[in-house]
Amino acid sequence: SRLTPASTTQSICGFCSTGCSLNIHRDASGQAINLSPDPAYPVNLGMACPKGWEALTPLAATDRLTTPLLRNKITGLLEPVSWPVALAAFVENFKRIQQTHGPHALSFLSTGQIVMEEMALLGALAKFGMGMLHVDSNTRQCMATSHVAYKQSFGFDAPPFSYADFEESDALIFIGANPCIAHPIMWQRVMMNKRKPEIIVIDPRRTETAVAATLHVPLLPKSDLTLLYGFAHLLIQRGAVQRDFIDAHTSNYPAFASFLAAFTPERVSTETGLPVETLHRVVEIIATKERVSFWWTMGVNQGHESTRTAQAIINLALMTGNIGRPGTGANSITGQCNAMGSRLFGNASSLLGGYDFANDAHRTHVAAILGIDAQKIPSEKSWAYDQIIDGIDSGAIKGLWVIATNTAHSWINQKRFPELRRKLEFMVVQDMYATTETAQMADLVLPAAGWGEKEGVFINSERRLGVSRKVSRAPGEALSDFAIFQLVAEAWGCGDMFRQWSSPEAAFRILRELTRGQPCNITGIEGYDHIQHSGGIQWPYPADSSSQLPALGSKLGSHRRLFTDGHFYTADQRAVFHFDEPRPMPEPPDKAYPFLLNTGRGSSAQWHTGSRTNKSDVLVKLAPTSLYVEINPADAARLGIANNDDVLVSSRRGDAEAFAVVTSTVQPGQLFMPMHFDAVNRLTFPSFDPHSRQPSYKACAVRLARS
Ligand code: SF4
């Protein structure tokens, strides 16, 4: 019967960075029929959020793309074509663009949703085989800040924690993070903490997590950097810093300490809107609890000074010695299922394996492992996502390849995208569906297999590698992204460069070799089965077992945390204190646009632009089906707006229709809208952190009226 599985395959969920393990039950022909969360996996312990339970549904959506589509120049419509015709159009148009405008006139925008072998093959093919220079991924929208902050502070992009730390902390401080709905299984791990922890949530909005916390700190939007410096100032005043640790394991502390003198409680109170007593209360907890852990996500990462804000969190952990011990750490929670893989193997900002493009020795080393000419590896830095978008505007980029992301919906200030699209001579979209806002604008759409229809490795937030398995056949002529990249390499004429990338697992072996000697060394991993049978493996896992981090066993499975010996990845093994004066918000509210708009995740049942989650009736029922805006009751009364009223939210860039949700989750003068509906990014203001170039989705000025 369809309900009696013939076999079960363990696989890793392909939505968020928690990296839950799912048991996929299959019929006699090998097709997945249903799933259940894996009770034996050390990440999720038998739990899954609604998206995980519904992970198979988007594969069976009726609008799955089953053949390539090419836009007919006469009718203007996308029409089915064969793979040979599609590949010929890809090569002919992109080569013509390169011949006319130069090799760097081509670019790709990729994703943190595909397996690391695919993102590595794409990055290698595009940069070493096709001669592209400017490429980026949607991880720029979520994790670029953490990447840069860790790299500068620790010497490598190295989130230090393990999920066991959720259970082993005496105080957990969440800054700009709402794990109750954004990372529900991580939140369940917090709920398993038996140490009666203090849970502090620093967020302008009274989120689900803030409601569940022992203390909510409702600071003014984008005053987080000032607040964190204020905490550091008070910790020094109390003498609650770990001088031994600072002296032995860090650098630049004296300059940081004298910089902090200006962040008096009175100044910080004025600039954050918080009572001085609240500052002291938080500092008392940090100073007196033995194990304090700091956790951040998009509220920090998506800001105009996000890198320094993330580093202000790192500084607090360093100065109080809350790192390398159980239940501590300055811990960035990642967004997408494989954002961590993209950070190591995307080949955009960093050279494959976490190396530097600008470093001659690194290029030579990587070229030798890949068996290619080192001259093929560019020494110049890639533009970031926003610079690629600007490059389209200026005419520098004429051809764009978009892989498994929905730029026309998700990019900040997206109203600009249709106009930019007209400036492109050829745009290719590679996706499971031709119905996304971006695919609808493409010249060529390539049908891609989805999660569950191919295999490869994801790396989750705690640096754990897990294998995502093939449990279902892709429909029609859809192919894995890996197979599409192989076909493109052959059609482009550079297939010989990638002969050793013969399968995802062969690619894994190449990537494994690239990590030898790097902090993310995984040369001790034998292959996919080894990862699977180990319950996932956290990096580092070097071949020399004597230099492997000890696996700290617990009833929850093995876990490894970094920096237990106080040695960091900088040249002198010391972590570095980084800081800068806070800067004003780029677009503060004013008379014409008096509200400040915050955007974010609206529900645990929705995922980003909804291209997959909207395919599930269950998930659609669990979440609002149209765009809403949260407004404080005082503002609603003043404007004569009642619950469920239709309203128009406008910024200097565009308008969005929504319905009003009158609620005290937002403070007076502030609004919140979920990111899952495309109109939101007509409003957002395009400002960027100068170090990570991550966009600031969390603050723009808008006005509101009944419609
Ligand atoms: Fe999947 Fe994340 Fe939900 Fe786990 S928490 S089931 S990884 S979406």
> For 421-441, how does the pLDDT look when each residue is reduced to its tens digit (9 = 90+)?
999 999 999 999 999 999 999
Instruction: Count the Cβ atoms, other than its own, within 10 Å of residue 599.
Output: 22
Atom of ligand 1 nearest to the CA of 15: 8
CATH for the stretch 595-706: 2.40.40.20
| Mean pLDDT of all residues in 111-115 | 92
Other Cβ atoms less than 10 A from the Cβ of 114: the count is 33
> What average pLDDT score do residues 90-111 get?
97
Nearest to 148 by CA among 699, 698, 688: 688
51 CA to centre of ligand 1 in angstroms: 6
Q: Are 498 and 482 in contact (CB under 8 A)?
A: no
The two structure tokens encoding residue 148? 């840069």
Q: Residue 183 CA: which ligand 1 atom is closest?
A: 5
Hey, what's the torsion of the CAs at 563, 566, 570, 575, to 10 degrees?
100
Lowest mean pLDDT among 68-77, 191-200, 611-620: 611-620
Question: What is the spatial distance between Cα 548 and Cα 429, in angstroms, rounded to a whole number?
Answer: 41
Ligand 1, residues 15, 54, 337, 601: which to mutate, most atoms within 8 A of Cβ? 15
Report whether pLDDT(83) > 70. Answer: yes
pLDDT score recorded for residue 624: 81
Query: 29-43, 302-316, 409-423, 681-695 — which is least confidently predicted?
Result: 409-423
Residues 78-97, mean pLDDT to the nearest whole number: 98
pLDDT score of 555 more than 50: no
pLDDT in tens, 161-180: 999 999 999 999 999 999 99
Residue 117: pLDDT band with limits 50, 70, 90: very high
Pocket test for ligand 1, best of 20, 190, 604 (most atoms within 8 A of CB): 20
667 CA distance to ligand 1 middle (Å): 30
- Give CA 121 to chain center in angstroms: 20
Calculate how far, in angstroms, residue 306's C-alpha sits from the geometric centre of ligand 1.
26
> Do the bridges between strand 399-403 and strand 106-110 make them parallel or antiparallel, or are there none, so unpaired?
parallel
Atom of ligand 1 nearest to the CA of 607: 8
**Phi/psi of residue 339, each to 5°?**
-60, -35
C-alpha distances out from residue 107 to 126, 347, 584, Å? 8, 13, 33
In the chain, list all ranges with CATH 3.40.228.10: 145-333
In Å, what is the CA distance from 189 to each residue of 39, 43, 275, 607? Answer: 14, 9, 31, 21
Alpha-carbon gap, residue 439 to 650, rounded angstroms = 27
Mean pLDDT of 111-138: 95
Q: Is the pLDDT of residue 547 over 80?
A: no
pLDDT at residue 590 greater than cutoff 80: yes
* Rounded average pLDDT over 188-194: 96
The ligand 1 atom at the shortest distance from the C-alpha of residue 44 is 4
Predicted local confidence at residue 527, as pLDDT = 95
Question: Where are the domain boundaries for CATH 2.40.40.20 in the chain?
Answer: 595-706
- The DSSP annotation for 105-168 comes to GEEEEE-SSS-HHHHHHHHHIIIIIS----EEEGGGGTTHHHHHHHHHHHSS------THHHHH
Q: What is the DSSP string of 589-647?
A: --SSS-EEEEEE---TT--TT-TTGGG-HHHHHHS-SS-EEEE-HHHHHHHT--TT-EE
Cβ pair 468, 458 in contact under 8 A = yes
Give the number of C-alpha atoms closer than 13 A to the C-alpha of residue 594, restricted to the C-beta side: 8
Give the N- to C-terminal CA distance of the chain in Å, as an integer.
Answer: 54
Provide the residue type at 574 as one letter. R
pLDDT at position 156 over 60: yes
What is the CATH architecture assignment of 7-60? Answer: Single Sheet (2.20)
In the reported structure, the alpha carbon of residue 417 is separated from the centroid of ligand 1 by a whole-number distance in angstroms of 31
CA of 78 to the centre of ligand 1 (A): 34
Ligand 1 centroid, distance to 342 Cα (angstroms)? 18
- Which tokens hold the place of 156? 């490598």
CA distances 577 to 148, 306, 549, Å, are: 14, 15, 25
Locate CATH 3.40.50.740 in the chain: 69-142+338-544
Residue nearest to atom 2 of ligand 1 (CA): 16
In whole angstroms, give the CA distance from residue 317 to residue 607. Answer: 31
Size of the chain in residues = 707
Q: Whose CA is nearest to atom 1 of ligand 1?
A: 52
Q: Rounded distance, CA 581 to CA 598, Å?
A: 23
pLDDT of residue 548: 64
Let me know: does 293 contact 328? Beta carbons within 8 Å.
yes
Give the max Cα distance, the chain.
Answer: 75
Instruction: Using the predicted structure, report yes or no on whether residue 552 has a pLDDT greater than 70.
Output: no
| Pocket mutation for ligand 1, best pick of 11, 13, 186, 340 (most atoms within 8 Å of C-beta) | 13
Residue 337 CA, closest ligand 1 atom number: 7
Question: What's the CA-to-centroid distance between 367 and ligand 1, angstroms?
Answer: 36
Tell me the pLDDT of the chain averaged across its residues: 95
Helices (H) and strands (E) in the chain, counts: 25, 26
* pLDDT given at position 174: 98
CA distances to 599, 613, 657, 680 from 677, in Å: 11, 12, 11, 6
Distance 190 CA to ligand 1 centre (A): 15
By C-alpha distance, which of 264, 282, 263 is closest to 202?
282
| Top mutation candidate among 38, 185, 601 for ligand 1, by most atoms within 8 Å of CB | 185
Residue 579 pLDDT grade (very low, low, confident, very high; cuts 50, 70, 90): very high
Q: Residue whose CA is closest, atom 4 of ligand 1?
A: 20
| For residue 694, pLDDT beyond 90 | yes
**% of the chain surpassing 90 pLDDT:** 89
User: Among residues of the chain, what percentage have pLDDT more than 70?
Assistant: 98
- Distance (Å, rounded) from C-alpha 340 to C-alpha 131? 25
pLDDT: which is higher, 348 or 478: 478
Task: Select from 3.40.50.740, 3.40.50.720, 2.40.30.10, 3.30.365.10 the CATH code of 69-142+338-544.
Answer: 3.40.50.740
Query: Which of the 8 DSSP states describes residue 544?
Result: S
- Cis ω for the linkage preceding 540 (within 30 of 0): yes
pLDDT recorded at residue 335 = 87
Secondary structure of residue 6 in the 3-state scheme:
coil
One-letter amino acid identity for 664?
Answer: S
SS3 of 505-541: HHHHHHHHHHCCCCCCCCCCCCCHHHHHHCCCEECCC
pLDDT of residue 550: 64
Secondary structure (3-state) at 89: helix
One of 3.20.20.150, 3.40.228.10, 3.40.630.30, 3.30.479.30 is the CATH number of 145-333, namely 3.40.228.10
Contact 445, 65 (CB under 8 A): yes
The position carrying tokens 């100065």 is 319
Rounded CA gap, 328 and 325, in Å? 6
Distance (angstroms) between ligand 1 centre and the Cα of 52 equals 5
Q: Which of 18, 297, 338 to mutate to test the pocket of ligand 1 (most atoms within 8 A of CB)?
A: 18
Ligand 1 pocket residues where CB is under 6 Å = 13, 15-16, 18-20, 44, 48-49, 51-52, 184-185
* Atom of ligand 1 lying closest to residue 49 CA: 3
Q: Is ipTM beyond 0.90?
A: yes
- pLDDT tier at 609, thresholds 50, 70, 90: confident
If you measure from the C-alpha of residue 17 to the centroid of ligand 1, how many angstroms do you get, rounded to a whole number?
A: 7
Identify the residue whose tokens are 């490795």: 457
Check if the beta carbon of residue 46 is closer than 8 Å to that of residue 39.
yes
Q: Please, where in the chain does CATH 2.20.25.90 lie? A: 7-60
* CB of 652 closer than 8 Å to CB of 266: no
Joined tokens for residue 13: 């969920």
Rounded to an integer, the average pLDDT of 1-29 is 91
Phi, psi of 283 (to 5 degrees): -65, -35
Cα within 13 Å of Cα(22), Cβ side: 31
333 alpha carbon – ligand 1 mean position (Å): 13
C-alpha of residue 20 to centroid of ligand 1, in Å: 6
